[in-house]
Chains A and B, each alone.
Chain A
Amino acid sequence: MKAFRFLRPRTLAEASEALRREPGAVPKAGGVDLLDRWKERVEEPEVVVGLCDVTDGAALRLEEDGALVLGALATLADLAGSDLVRRFLPALARAADQAASPQIRHRATLGGNLAQATRCGYWRLRSFPCLLRGASRCPVREPGGVQETAGIFANDPCASAHPSSVAPVLGALGAEILVGGGPEGGRGLAFEALWRAPEPGRSDVLALEPGELIRAVRIPPSAHPVRVGHAEVRQRAAFDWPLVTAAVGLTLDADRIREARVWLGSVAPTPHRARAAEAALTGRRLAEVRATFDGRAAAEGATPLPGTAYKAGLVAVAARRALADALERS
C-alpha cells in the first residue's frame, strides 16, 4: 500500500470541505473494499479523507412524515440490528444480515456498500488489463475471458457487475439518496441516479459532484401498503457475494398491485432495474401474480456472454423467489 495523508474530519460537512480542498482525495468509510484496492495498488491515493471520526453520519431515524432516513455511515450490523429497521424495513434488515460475515458487517457501511467497486478480477488485479483502467477493451468480453461473475445487462463495453446485495432491496423500497454535505446543504437523487455507466479509463462508479458524499438513504413514506421481498442465489451461504440478488417492492391498492419495483444485483455495472418485470406485475391482482409470475420478465433485455448464460436463468429464479418472499411476509 502506498503511503497517504489521512485527514480526519468530524462532520459530514467538514468531510465534503476536505474533499473539495484536496482534489483527488478519496473518502474512506469502513475500508473493507478500499483497503484491498490499495493493497493491490489498483488505486494509490495520496490523500484519504477518513470518515472514522464523523459523528453525524450514522443515525437511523424515523421522520415526522413517516420517512426513514438511514445515515450512510451506519454499518450493515447497525442496519441488521436496529429495531426501527427490523420493524419498518424487515427485508432490508434481512439483506444486511445475510451479507458477508460478522467481522465485515461490523465495519462495512451503507454508503460504502452502495459505492463499492466491481468484483471483476481483471479490474482488481493491476497486472491484468481493464477497460476502466485504460486498456482498449474489456478482457472479460474476449474469447477465453473469465466471465462467470460478469454482468449480463448493459455489459458492452464493460462487463463488470455491481455486487451489492443491499442495493436491490433499497431500490425495491423506492429509496432516494441524499448527497452533498457542504455548507450549501444537500440534494436528493433518484435511486438510479447515484451511479454512472462505466466509461473507459474511469474507475469511479458514482455520479457525484466533486466534494459530494452519500449522506443518507431516505425511504419515503407511502400512502398505500407496501410489500417488499428479496432473494439471493449464493454459491456459499455466507462470507461471499451472491451470484444474483433480486428484490421486489409492491405498492398495493387492496389486492391489486398499483406499482411494482423490481431490482437486481450482480448482473450489471450498476444495480439494475428490471422494468419488464415491473410491467408484468403492475395492475395485476396478487392471487394472479402468485399463480403466474415465472420471473422470466426480469431477464428481458439480457445479453449474456457464453460464461454468464446461466445467470439469465438465475435472475428468473431469484425474481420469482423475491416475489414469493414479498407475498409471504406482508
Chain B
Amino acid sequence: MAEDPSVPPARGITRRALFQGAGAAAAARALLGATPAGAEEGPAATPWRTQGPGAVDVALRVNGAERTLRVEPRVTLLEALRLDLDLTGAKPVCDRSQCGACTVWLDGRTVHACSVLAVEAEGREVTTVEGLGQPGRLHPVQRAFVEEDALQCGFCTPGLVMSVAWAVAQHGPGLSEAQVRRACAGNLCRCGTYPHVLKAALKAAGQGG
C-alpha cells in the first residue's frame, strides 16, 4: 500500500532529509532577505500594510492550531505547509493549478495550495489532509479510501481525499455520483483510480462522513 501521508516519516535518511536543506535555505532566506524590524508596515503614511519583499511573520491557523512562520510574500501556501510546517500531505506535482495534488481547504473550501500565497492565508482557516484525521482516528473519507482501495501510487490521494471530504461536507448522505464527479473535477489521478474513489466517496457519505 502507498505511504500514508499522515504518518510522520521515519527520521534519518529519508525524503525529509532532502527538505531539511530546503528548511535551512528558508531560514537563510529569512535572515538575508528579512526587512528590518518595524519596516514591515512600509514607509510612513500609507493606509495599507506592506509586506516584503523579504520574509515577514505570518500567523496562520492550520488544522485548528495557530502557527507563526516567516515567509517571503512570494512563498506559496503549498511551500509553506510542506517546508516550513512539515505538513507534507499536500503534494507539489504541477505547481500550476492543473492537477489537484496540492488540494487543501481554505475556510472550508477546496483550493489548489500551489496557487495561493502563504501571506494571503493569514487570518483564514487552513485544513490539510493531516487535519482531517490521523491514524487511529481517520476521517470517514480516509477510512473509505483504505477500505475501497481507492489509491495506487497514492500521489494524488491527499488531494482527492480533500475534494471528496468537501463534497461529503457539502451534500451529506444524499451525495450523488454526479456531485462526486464534479467535486473531483480538479484532481487528476494518473493511475486511474477514479472508480474506486467514487465508491469510497459514496460509502463515506452513506456513513455520515
Q: Please report A residues at the B interface, Cβ cutoff 8 Å.
A: 1-10, 14, 17-18, 21, 30-32, 35-36, 38-39, 46, 48, 50, 52-53, 77, 100-104, 106-107, 237-239
Contacts and interface: CB of A to CB of B under 8 A. Distances in A.
Interface in B22-56: 33, 42, 46-54
Interface size class of B (residues with CB under 8 A): 35 or more
Contacts of A107: 111-112, 115-116
B128 interface: no
Nearest to B170: A102
Contact of B117 (A2, A6, A77): A6
B100 A7 contact: no
A18 B46 contact: yes
**Which 8 A/B pairs are nearest by Cβ-Cβ distance?**
A101-B186, A6-B73, A238-B185, A3-B53, A9-B48, A103-B186, A8-B49, A106-B109
Interface in B82-134: 95-98, 100, 103, 106, 109-112, 114-117, 119-120
A214 B77 CA distance: 26
Contacts of B187: 101
A101 B72 contact: no
Of the candidates B33, B49, B120, the one having the most CB atoms from chain A within 10 angstroms of its own CB is B120
Contacts of B163: 102-103
Contacts of B188: 239
A8 B117 CA distance: 13
Contacts, number: 109
Contacts of B50: 5-8
A104 B114 CA distance: 11
A38 B117 CA distance: 12
Contact of A106 (B95, B96, B110): B110
A50 B76 CA distance: 14
A323 B143 CA distance: 47
A1 B185 contact: no
A101 B188 CA distance: 11
19 contacts: A3-B52, A4-B52, A5-B53, A7-B42, A7-B48, A8-B49, A8-B51, A9-B48, A21-B46, A32-B97, A50-B117, A50-B120, A53-B49, A103-B111, A104-B112, A238-B182, A239-B185, A239-B186, A239-B188
